[in-house]
Amino acid sequence: MKVVAVTGASGHLGNVVCSGLLESGYYVRAMYHSFDTSLKDLPLELVQGDVLNAADVQRLLGGCDMVINCAAIISIHGDPTGIVYKTNTAGPKIVLETASRLGIKRIVHVSSVHAVLEVPTSLPFDEKRPYKSAEDYPYDYSKAVGEQLLFNTQIENKPEIVVLRPSCIVGPFDFKPSEIGKVLLQFYHQQIPVLPQGGYDFVDVRDVANSVISALTQGRDGEVYLVTGKYYSMKLLARIIEKVSGKKTPKMVMHYWVLRTLGFAQK
C-alpha cells in the first residue's frame, strides 16, 4: 500500500483529496493546522502541524512514498501581514527540501490559474502563459513564485514535480467554508446587493481531487496541468443560485470599477 502525505488536508480540496485517496487504496497521512472537522470521520493518520515548520513537515513525510501539497492561503483582500506570500512560497520550498532529503519520489503541487497572466484575452489561456509579477495581486504573485521555486530549485535527489492549476473550486464538503463558499452563503442570506460585470470559470471540487490523485501516477515530471470547468457569467450564476436555493438574488449588474469605488471590491 502506497503512503501519500497531504498538506492542507482539512481544506475544501484537501479533505476531498483525502477521501479519494482512501477510496483508491492509498494509506493517507493528513496534515492539518488547527481545523480538523472535515477529516474526523476518515480512516487516515492525522498529523497536526504547520507547513512552515520544517520539523512538522519532516514528521508528516517520514516513510511516505509521495506528497500532495494542498496547503495554501487564498486571499482576495491583499496580504497585509505577509503570511499569504510566506505560506504559498516558503511552504512548497520546505516540502521540496524535506521530500528530497527523505527520498520521496514525487510531489503533486496544487497551484492556481491565477499564477499566470490573463492577458492577452485574444490568445488561448494555456499552460505556457507568463507568470504574474510583484505588481499583480499578492495571492496571484505568491502562487507564481511557489511554482517557480519548485521547478527551479536545484537540489540533490530532487523529486518529480507535477503542478495542477485549478480555477475557482466549488462543490460539497466545504466545511469552513472557503472564500467562494462564503460568497455563496452571502447570496443565500441576500447580503449581495448588486452583481459585478463579467464572470469566471468554476470547477467541481471532486473533479479537481480526481485530477490531483491521477497526477500521482499519470502526471509527467515538470508538467503543468490546467484543471478547469465551465465559465459562468455572474448573472447566470446568480440565477442558478436563486433556482437552487429559492432565495432572490440581485439582478442589477455594475462595472467592477464602480463596485470598487463604492467599497464592494478589494485588492
**Residue 51 in domain:** yes
pLDDT tens for the chain, 267 residues: list them.
899 999 999 999 999 999 999 999 999 999 999 999 999 999 999 999 999 999 999 999 999 999 999 999 999 889 999 999 999 999 999 999 999 999 999 999 999 999 999 999 899 999 999 999 999 999 999 999 999 999 999 999 999 999 999 999 999 999 999 999 998 999 999 998 888 888 899 999 999 999 999 999 999 999 999 999 999 998 999 999 999 999 999 888 876 554 454 444 443
Q: Among 33, 132, 147, 50, which Cα is nearest to 96's? A: 147
Asked if the structure places residue 184 within a domain, the reply is no
DSSP 210-267: HHHHHHTTTSPTT-EEEE--EEEEHHHHHHHHHHHH-------EE-HHHHHHHTS---
Residue 103's CATH number: 3.40.50.720
171 in helix, strand or coil? coil
Largest CA distance in the chain: 57
Structural domain includes residue 138: yes
How many folded domains does the chain comprise? 1
Residue 114 located in a structural domain: yes
Is residue 176 assigned to a domain? no
Q: Do 186 and 192 contact (CB within 8 A), yes or no?
A: yes
Q: Tell me if the pTM is above 0.95.
A: no
Identify whether 32 is part of a domain.
yes
Exposed/middle/buried for 179, CB within 10 Å: 0-12, 13-18, 19+? middle
How far is 116 from 111, CA to CA, in rounded Å? 10
Evaluate whether residue 243 is within a structural domain: no
Q: Which domain holds residue 148?
A: 3-169+203-229
**Residue 239 resides in a domain:** no
- Grid cell in block for residue 30: 493528513
